């Protein structure tokens, strides 16, 4: 599959006259809980030629390929990516730390990682993950019966919030790392690991009685985190000048 993805990246570079700096997996495969039939969610960052930026017109900042049963590929132009990086955008931060890298070129990723702690906004990341958890809990976990896969779309953002609360850093993308680092040995952790093994083996669509230990943990933490986020007041320096220089440097590097 990697060869097919690399071929698609090459076609994108040729068709749109761009250079790709990073292409990674961003979905359940990167999170560590794929199922047997999970598709590939490929995300990339790309750079246009210099003249493309010297225009009075606003231009499209994304490239999206038609989604098929196996591949979902889309990317962000570098200025869009840098503006979202300045806001500590959690999905972009996850791209930068994905453990499944299909393609990486030039120095963009290394430069962004070097300054990520200067732009990281805990309250922004917390709101993102908490709202995701609340929405998925409301939509999928309130009934007496639950599909196994839905638990992970609440567990992962809740654990990401707990990581930010504890360490004040970008949370790891891998679900298993969050579980091992944040949860003590006991019934809750064992229930989660049992569900994880079943999901990966293909039981994810089974509709089963809810797991009370997990539901109670999630509801309690969501309510607590809602109150915790209200207490956060963190300000950061304006990184725009730094990112402007980084943008110019990358343009020179890519199109030298």
User: For the segment 175-222, what is each residue's pLDDT rounded down to a tens digit?
Assistant: 999 999 999 999 999 999 999 998 888 776 678 899 999 999 999 999
Angle at 131 between CA 146 and CA 155, to 5 degrees: 40
Beta strand extents in the chain (DSSP E only): 18-25, 40-48, 62-64, 71-77, 101-104, 145-147, 207-209
pTM: 0.93
Local structure of residue 144 (DSSP, 8 states)? S
Structural domain for 50, as ranges: 2-116+238-254
* Mean per-residue pLDDT, 54-83: 93
pLDDT of 68 above 90? no
Same domain, 93 and 139: no
* Mean per-residue pLDDT, 65-86: 94
Same domain, 63 and 126: no
Same domain, 62 and 80: yes
**pLDDT on residue 198:** 87
Same domain, 16 and 92: yes
**Per-residue model confidence as pLDDT tens digits over 212-253:** 999 999 999 999 999 999 888 877 889 999 999 999 999 999
Same domain, 244 and 218: no
Same domain, 168 and 193: yes
Phi, psi of 2 (to 5 degrees): -60, -40
Strand, helix or coil for residue 120: coil
* Mean per-residue pLDDT, 72-101: 97
pLDDT of 160 above 90? yes
Same domain, 84 and 160: no
């Amino acid at each position: 599959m990697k060869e097919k993805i690399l071929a698609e990246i090459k076609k994108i570079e040729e068709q749109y006259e761009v250079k790709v700096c990073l292409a990674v997996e961003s979905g359940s495969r990167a999170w560590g809980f794929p199922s047997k039939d999970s598709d590939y969610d490929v995300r990339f960052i790309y750079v246009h030629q210099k003249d493309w930026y010297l225009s009075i017109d606003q231009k499209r900042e994304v490239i999206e390929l038609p989604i098929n049963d196996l591949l979902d590929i889309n990317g962000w132009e570098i200025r869009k990516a840098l503006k979202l990086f300045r806001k500590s955008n959690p999905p972009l931060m996850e791209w930068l730390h994905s453990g499944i890298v299909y393609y990486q070129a030039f120095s963009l990723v290394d430069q962004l990682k070097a300054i990520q702690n200067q732009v990281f906004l805990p309250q922004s990341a917390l709101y993102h993950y908490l709202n995701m958890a609340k929405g998925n809990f409301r939509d999928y976990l309130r009934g007496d019966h639950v599909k196994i896969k839905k638990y992970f779309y609440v567990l992962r953002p809740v654990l990401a919030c707990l990581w930010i609360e504890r360490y004040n850093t970008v949370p790891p993308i891998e679900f298993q790392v969050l579980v091992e680092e944040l949860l003590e040995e006991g019934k809750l952790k064992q229930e989660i690991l049992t569900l994880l093994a079943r999901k990966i083996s293909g039981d994810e669509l089974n509709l089963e009685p809810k797991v009370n230990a997990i539901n109670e943990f999630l509801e309690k933490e969501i309510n607590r985190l809602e109150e915790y986020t209200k207490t956060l007041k963190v300000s950061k320096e304006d990184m725009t000048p730094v990112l402007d220089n980084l943008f110019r440097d990358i343009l020179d590097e890519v199109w030298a």
